[in-house]
Chain A
């Protein structure tokens, strides 16, 4: 039964996106037809995605198509992000794109193309997180670039075409490196896995990782990190990211930052697991620590000088992806749990912030922070969510990121990296200051002339309100289903599969090796 859900999770969006493309021939109704098809797509992806995740909770994992698709707890965490954030941002898209059509930013006949591409992009990301065939993982990542290039450049301005060009060139060149890493792993695995069909499967390679050649593995991992790291926005391969994130329509920015970066990260983690099973965790952890810290430091410096709200948010994504990578580098149950939790939390908050920046863009017609002032008088609800989002993003309680950032740093302190943590906290202080300055000057301050009063339409506020609720809720309470997924995902990261000792839970971790912080969190969660 769950196998069917998984097959349909991939089939449905691709068929529906093709239908959305062809809505352009529906004459005057084209826009409405495309909207309806788009709504059905995101709803179907949400429902089927949640059903598959339920399957993982019940049965441990869900497979389909001769094991080519495989959703374990680790994939389920990312699938949850794809389908929930994809759905909310998809809803926000409808109001946002209608507004673009009203103001003449987009032509009505471009709308079906937009939704076709949006849903295709969503499909490619579902494919990334559900793929079990390592070469198909690469194909899927490459497809995410191709699917989203025209979304980035859809406005057709000089700057958006430039951003789209940089995006497609940098990412295809970068991701091509990862193909070498992937092929190296496969060609080595095929030597001892008798059936070539098995040597492409991640699950089979992990089981036999000890037989892989250590030198080849390390070389392959460097290629993988450069390649997929480009897509994940890890410094110094992040060059495309601020341009693409700032020039794309805001819902697309939310999808790029909140979902796509994580998908690329998942594939890197998959290969890191192969390495950890094959040659031990030291090498991938060292690489993660280096690149994670560099990303945080570099992003903090860029954030400090930003005058463009969407570029500010884009660099904040580099910073947060850096933190997640860092947490994987810290390793151990504490580091990995913190990393996974931060992945979910950052995704929600960043989707919230990019959608909010979309509302600001609608009111002020600019991304220039020196011109965005006095929002409280114009758009009170948008001001409120901007404040909430900013506080959440910089890690203030009671919002979700507070817990995951705190967990990352306490894991770091207790796992032997206190000095590094202190240095990084100093850089986070810069980020903190920059974001507080941004939010206070945007919300308060004197209102520029020619801004009509009144908040944006309800269709662009409702999805943001849901995100606000989620951000707050996950800061106060972690549902047992999610904590079970996180536990199992952490076990997969450590042992290569969740079956080893599935009885271990968050609370048990805290008894043995988890820092005190997590013990408090465990009590806070009521488990």
Chain B
């Protein structure tokens, strides 16, 4: 029982760290907060591994530690170094509104998840709802942020959400599956960061609102 409670509590912590990542103005600090959040995710994986006795979840925790808590923040920070002189674009949506939207996505996720009968994960329903909400947070971040590097962080948050869903629902899947998904995620961050730096060098801005030459 303690294990389930711990998992559900830790997933609550994920929500708080995401809000901090989204609302922090400084890109560098957001990247660090993201690393903190990934460590919370690793702790959830470890707790899951102990409570369910599924050994491969230790492997998941290890790979999440390397790719999400170390490599991804490192790539983001390196990218931010290259655009250090950029003026931060204005926020498209006011922070208060973003928090309201986030709250709505949490409520909706809880309602939807509660109606489903997922036999293997009924004990983790709160955690599962959090993971789905977290996925929507990432999308929210992509939609509300005009800074393209911040949009990449949105992608990372989305990834953390879906990774948690995967750990809760598909922990028994062969390891290669998890490796494939983690590889996609890290390459995704790498490719987007390189592209963002290219865009900055060409357009001299990180503002997504200036990417509007193609229409119709």
Chain A contact residues, CB within 8 Å of chain B: 133, 135-136, 138-139, 142-143, 146, 149-150, 153, 156-159, 161-166, 168-169, 172-173, 176, 179-180, 183-184, 186-188, 190-191, 196-197, 199-200, 213, 215-216, 219, 242-243, 246-247, 302, 305-306, 311
Residue contacts A-B, CB under 8 angstroms, 27 given: A133-B177, A139-B177, A146-B188, A149-B195, A156-B202, A161-B199, A161-B203, A165-B148, A165-B195, A165-B196, A166-B211, A168-B188, A169-B151, A172-B155, A173-B139, A173-B158, A179-B181, A183-B162, A183-B166, A186-B170, A187-B120, A197-B174, A200-B177, A213-B117, A216-B116, A219-B116, A311-B216
Contacts of B83 in A (CB 8 A): none
Name B213's contact: one of A136, A150, A158, A172 (CB within 8 Å). A158
- B166→A247 contact, CB < 8 A: no
Contacts of A199 in B (CB 8 A): 172-173
Cα(A150)–Cα(B183), bound, Å = 17
Name A158's contact: one of B142, B173, B176, B203 (CB within 8 Å). B203
- A180→B135 contact, CB < 8 A: yes
Name A146's contact: one of B176, B184, B202, B203 (CB within 8 Å). B184
- B198→A136 contact, CB < 8 A: no
- B211→A162 contact, CB < 8 A: yes
Closest chain B CB from A264 CB (angstroms) = 15
Answer yes or no: B59 CB below 8 A from chain A CBs: no
Cα(A184)–Cα(B165), bound, Å = 10
Known pairs A161-B198, A243-B214; A191 contacts B180 (CB<8 A): no
Contacts of B181 in A (CB 8 A): 135, 138-139, 179
Contacts of A173 in B (CB 8 A): 139, 142, 155, 158
Known pairs A166-B211, A187-B120; A196 contacts B173 (CB<8 A): yes
Cα(A143)–Cα(B117), bound, Å = 32
Cα(A121)–Cα(B199), bound, Å = 22
Contacts of A136 in B (CB 8 A): 176-177, 180
Q: Interface residue count for B (Cβ, 8 Å)?
A: 46
Name B162's contact: one of A179, A187, A188 (CB within 8 Å). A179
Contacts of A190 in B (CB 8 A): 120, 170, 172-173
- A183→B165 contact, CB < 8 A: yes
- A149→B191 contact, CB < 8 A: yes
Cα(A136)–Cα(B177), bound, Å = 6
- 5 tightest Cβ-Cβ pairs between the two chains A and B: A187-B169, A139-B180, A196-B172, A162-B211, A142-B184
Contacts of B174 in A (CB 8 A): 133, 196-197, 200
Closest chain A CB from B135 CB (angstroms) = 7
Cα(A434)–Cα(B119), bound, Å = 54
Count of inter-chain pairs, beta carbons less than 8 A: 131
* Residue ID in chain B nearest A182 by CB atoms: B170
Contacts of B198 in A (CB 8 A): 153, 156, 161
Q: Mask for B95-137, Cβ within 8 A of A = 1, else 0? A: 0000000000000000000001111110000000000100100
Answer yes or no: B10 CB below 8 A from chain A CBs: no
- A161→B120 contact, CB < 8 A: no
Known pairs A135-B181, A143-B184; A169 contacts B216 (CB<8 A): no
Chain B contact residues, CB within 8 Å of chain A: 116-121, 132, 135, 139, 142, 148, 151, 155, 158-159, 162, 165-166, 169-170, 172-174, 176-177, 180-181, 183-184, 187-188, 191-192, 194-196, 198-199, 202-203, 208, 211-214, 216
* Residue ID in chain B nearest A177 by CB atoms: B135
Contacts of B172 in A (CB 8 A): 190, 196, 199
- B188→A172 contact, CB < 8 A: yes
Contacts of A157 in B (CB 8 A): 202
* Residue ID in chain A nearest B180 by CB atoms: A139
Cα(A146)–Cα(B117), bound, Å = 34
Cα(A136)–Cα(B194), bound, Å = 26
Name A161's contact: one of B121, B142, B173, B195 (CB within 8 Å). B195
Cα(A200)–Cα(B172), bound, Å = 10
Cα(A495)–Cα(B116), bound, Å = 28
* Residue ID in chain A nearest B214 by CB atoms: A243
Contacts of B119 in A (CB 8 A): 188, 191
Contacts of A133 in B (CB 8 A): 174, 177
Contacts of A149 in B (CB 8 A): 191, 195
Name A187's contact: one of B118, B148, B184, B211 (CB within 8 Å). B118
Contacts of B173 in A (CB 8 A): 135, 186, 190, 196, 199-200
Contacts of A163 in B (CB 8 A): 214
- A180→B191 contact, CB < 8 A: no
Contacts of B191 in A (CB 8 A): 146, 149-150, 168
Contacts of B187 in A (CB 8 A): 143, 146
- B142→A162 contact, CB < 8 A: no
Known pairs A161-B195, A161-B198; A184 contacts B169 (CB<8 A): yes
Contacts of B212 in A (CB 8 A): 162
- B213→A159 contact, CB < 8 A: yes
Closest chain B CB from A279 CB (angstroms) = 16
Cα(A69)–Cα(B116), bound, Å = 32
Cα(A305)–Cα(B215), bound, Å = 12
Name B192's contact: one of A168, A179, A197 (CB within 8 Å). A168
* Residue ID in chain A nearest B169 by CB atoms: A187
Q: Which of B119, B135, B177 has the most CB of A within 10 A?
A: B177
Q: Which of A173, A191, A215, A216 has the most CB of B within 10 A?
A: A173
Contacts of A180 in B (CB 8 A): 132, 135, 162, 165
* Residue ID in chain A nearest B168 by CB atoms: A187
- B216→A306 contact, CB < 8 A: yes
A142-B188, A143-B184, A163-B214 given; name 20 further pairs at CB < 8 Å.
A135-B173, A135-B181, A136-B180, A143-B187, A146-B187, A166-B214, A168-B195, A169-B192, A172-B155, A173-B139, A180-B162, A180-B165, A183-B162, A183-B165, A183-B169, A190-B173, A191-B120, A199-B172, A219-B116, A246-B214
